[in-house]
């Protein structure tokens, strides 16, 4: 994948095979609370934007405006054509595409 998180994967301690076959103890030792919290930072599919700039770089209409570190993006809906390139490349599904409302006109 072209994006990378700053949280490297933590390897869990494991019982040696010769010890593991002698009893029913857990083979994986698990993580401490601090290690588990750090490991949770690796999630890339939680639906929250982590400002990877993929949508910004992919938009052919320059409809996405960077607001600065920690402020994410703004979408210029007048420039957006609805091509969904930003949506398709977003690794964490933070962009949702919804149908544009149709203004009903009546012939009176």
CATH value at residue 56: 3.30.70.20
- Torsion, Cα 75 76 81 87, to 10 degrees, reads -10
* Number of domain units in the chain: 2
- Given this model, what pLDDT does residue 1 score? 45
Position 6 scores a pLDDT of: 58
Q: What is the pLDDT of residue 73?
A: 94
Give residue 72's domain range.
45-102
29 belongs to a structural domain: yes
| Per-residue tens of pLDDT for the chain, all 108 residues | 445 555 566 778 898 999 999 999 888 888 889 888 877 776 655 678 888 899 999 999 999 999 998 899 999 999 999 999 999 988 888 898 888 777 766 555
Q: Name the region of 21 (left: φ>0; alpha: ψ -120 to 50; beta: rest).
A: alpha
CA 20 → CA 27, 48, 92, distances in Å?
6, 39, 37
What is the pLDDT at residue 3? 52
pLDDT confidence of residue 59: 95
Cβ–Cβ < 8 Å for 52, 91: yes
Q: Flag whether 50 is in a domain.
A: yes
61 and 17 within one domain: no
pLDDT of residue 67: 94
Alpha helices by DSSP H, the chain: 17-20, 33-40, 54-58, 85-89
Domain-located, residue 107? no
Any domain includes 10: yes
Which pLDDT score, from 0 to 100, does residue 7 have? Answer: 58
| 93 and 72 co-located in one domain | yes
């Amino acid at each position: 994948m072209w994006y990378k998180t700053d949280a490297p994967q933590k390897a869990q301690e494991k019982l040696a095979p010769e010890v593991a076959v002698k009893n029913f103890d857990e083979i994986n030792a698990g993580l401490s609370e601090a290690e588990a919290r750090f490991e949770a930072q690796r999630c890339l599919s939680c639906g929250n934007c982590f400002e990877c700039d993929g949508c910004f770089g992919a938009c052919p209409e320059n409809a996405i405006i960077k607001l600065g570190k920690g402020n994410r993006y703004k979408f210029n809906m007048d420039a957006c054509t609805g091509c969904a390139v930003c949506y398709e490349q977003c690794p964490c599904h933070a962009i949702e595409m919804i149908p544009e409302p149709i203004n009903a006109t009546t012939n009176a």
